Amino acid sequence: MKGLSTLDVLVFVLYFILVAGYGYWIYLKKRKAVQDTKDFFLAEGSLTWWAIGASLIASNISAEQFIGMSGEGFFVGTAVAAYEWIAALALVIIAVWFMPIYLKNQIFTMPQFLTRRYNETVSLIMAIFWLFLYVFVNLTSILYLGAVAINGLLGGDYLHIVMVALAVFALIITLGGMKVIGYTDVIQVAVLIIGGLATTYMALIIVSEKFGLGRDVVAGFNTLLQQAPDHFHMILEKPGPDAPQEQIDKYMVLPGIAMYFAGQWIVNLNYWGCNQYITQRALGADLQTARTGILFAAFLKLMMPVIVMLPGIAAYVLYKNGHLPQLAGGSKDGAYSAILGFLPSGLKGLSIAALTAAIVASLAGKVNSISTIFTLDIFKKYMRQDADEQKLVWIGRIVIFISMFVAVVFTWNDTLGIGGEGGFTFIQKYTGFISPGVFAVFMLGMFWKRTTGTAAVAGVISGFLLSIFFNNYAPSLLGHETILYTAFPNGKGEYEIPFLINMGWSFFFTLALMVGISLTGPKVNPKAFIFESGIFRMSRSVQVLVVIILLMLTALYVRFW
């Protein structure tokens, strides 16, 4: 492996032995328990708050963030931190208002929520869709992006070996059930954060040295502020008629203040609150533990831009001053790998371990969710209603193998074209088509007693169709400038609406349609959730955590507005 020294290899091997060994020890310790479905899929009652929070972050942070968000940091700057910082606020909302509803009604899967609140039709439609989305969009893109990134760091020619190795490593962890995933994720997050911070530290040191300021981290950061002041603003200005294409391209990704009234909320609340892959970590715990774990994840989200975004800005400053000529004319997604090329022996191995930890944890979490939905919401309901607990656990393990095998097959030669479209764009594009409808169905289902099953079916379908309309047809049919949106030239002879704006309007019109349909039904739907007095009441410790998170978030936005 021409990109690594012997010390780098040793550091990485140590990481692998630590995670695999600890996972196997947890499995042996709890081997008898994982014959039960709730323990295998949910680790019911056994994950501590810190394990829940760490597992949430480990499953969320992957090559999409390390490579994709670092690339956006290179291209746009701190504005991309909105995805992380609004996620922290979304996690507060999930902890305070969503989790009490899930846990009070003993919801263990998202299709189960749809069955309880609406009907089997809505649940089955969404279960099938989630399975296809998780396997063919999320699992494949995580595997592909991760293999490409690590292959590049190793010096090339190892793509398929890396791909298989990542899949096998994830399988080793996943087959032990959610308990093994949850506790190994604690190590994964520790490696991810330590390795990520080390990379950021070295990136700032390198900037400081290249500008003749010695090995000074503070001087390196101040150099970034001086050399790229436009990269340290959270709100991008709307491009005018004569704006250059580069400014338009940046605004298309992060459309200024408008995105905070539109898709940014839908992206985050749908991802963190209505997503089996994420909520599964907390659904087996009691409310206090679940809330504390989720708020711990919110704290970690506040610091994630330091790990996944700052190296990208450092790469931009170095590139602009002629120190990274390899990025000339290349993809912004090469920024993180370019920074890693500067790292000394040993530290590069730690950084690759951090990247691997992020990828493997995400793969393990995703494939466990695929297994959970298929086993509990399809197999047990429609194929073998009399299947015992042990049978269901083994079906879950078989599904894990099959889904990972399918993902490897479809990423082997990039059959889905993930590389051509860009991993971050690929994920956002295809999950974004369904997010407005799904979020509308969950929001009204939780908090409006009148919402009907008919409205839910209409919401899922209309949200999907409206997303396609705004993304592909609205500019040509309605014009480039309307009361709803502004469409911009995309540099390819066509006009597009910023993606997050599309999501906002798709959600709004879906919500309106669902409300209209529900108003024709009874004033209180028989399947509506009835809230007991004090269901959303928070303990004093949770209140303190919420206030601290809000104050920290406010300070960040005031500083970088």
- CATH superfamily of the domain spanning 10-419: Sodium/glucose cotransporter (1.20.1730.10)
Confidence of residue 366 (pLDDT cuts 50, 70, 90): confident
Would you give the DSSP letter of residue 232? S
Decide if pLDDT at 31 tops 60.
no
Going by C-alpha positions, the residue among 268, 262, 258 that lies closest to residue 428 is 268
| Higher per-residue confidence, 176 vs 237 | 237
Residue 489 β-bridge partners:
495
Helix (H, G, I), strand (E, B) or coil at 209: helix
- Determine the average pLDDT of the residues in 213-226: 92
Decide if pLDDT at 242 tops 80.
yes
pLDDT at 437: 92
pLDDT at 550: 96
Decide if pLDDT at 19 tops 90.
no
The angle that helices 140-154 and 389-412 make with each other, rounded to 10 degrees, is: 50
- Determine the average pLDDT of the residues in 455-469: 93
- Determine the average pLDDT of the residues in 431-455: 92
pLDDT at 293: 92
- Determine the average pLDDT of the residues in 373-379: 86
Position of tokens 């995580």?
142
- Determine the average pLDDT of the residues in 173-193: 71
Q: How many CA within 13 A on the CB side of residue 193? A: 16
Provide long-range contacts, Cβ within 8 A and 24+ apart, for 483-491: 486/238, 488/239, 488/248, 488/251, 488/252, 489/245, 489/248, 490/248, 490/249, 490/252, 491/245, 491/248, 491/249
The helix or strand, by DSSP H or E, that contains position 183, with its residue range, turns out to be helix 178-210
What predicted TM-score, i.e. pTM, was given to this entire model?
Answer: 0.85
Q: Which two tokens stand for residue 307?
A: 């790990």
Report the alpha-carbon distance of residue 61 to residue 47 in Å, rounded: 20
Residue 481 β-bridge partners:
486
B/e letters for 91-100, b = 16+ CB within 10 Å, e = fewer, are bbbbbbebbb
Report the alpha-carbon distance of residue 82 to residue 88 in Å, rounded: 10
DSSP letter string, 364-433:
HHHHHHHHHHHIIIIIIIII-TT--HHHHHHHHHHHHHHHHHHHHHHHHTTTT-HHHH-HHHHHHHHHHT
Those residues with Cβ within 8 angstroms of residue 448's Cβ, 6 or more apart along the chain or in another chain: 515, 518, 528
| Higher per-residue confidence, 327 vs 198 | 198
For residue range 478-489, list pLDDT tens digits in order: 999 999 999 999
Confidence of residue 419 (pLDDT cuts 50, 70, 90): low
Decide: 337 and 315 in contact? Cβ < 8 Å. no
Going by C-alpha positions, the residue among 160, 221, 91, 152 that lies closest to residue 560 is 221
pLDDT at 2: 57
Question: Residue by residue, what is the 3-state secondary structure of 66-133?
Answer: HHHHHHHHHHCCHHHHHHHHHHHHHHHHHHHHHHHHHHHCCCCCHHHHHHHHCCHHHHHHHHHHHHHH
Q: Which two tokens stand for residue 229?
A: 């002041």
Q: Which two tokens stand for residue 393?
A: 């656990």
Bin 155: left if φ > 0, else alpha if -120 < ψ < 50, else beta. Answer: left
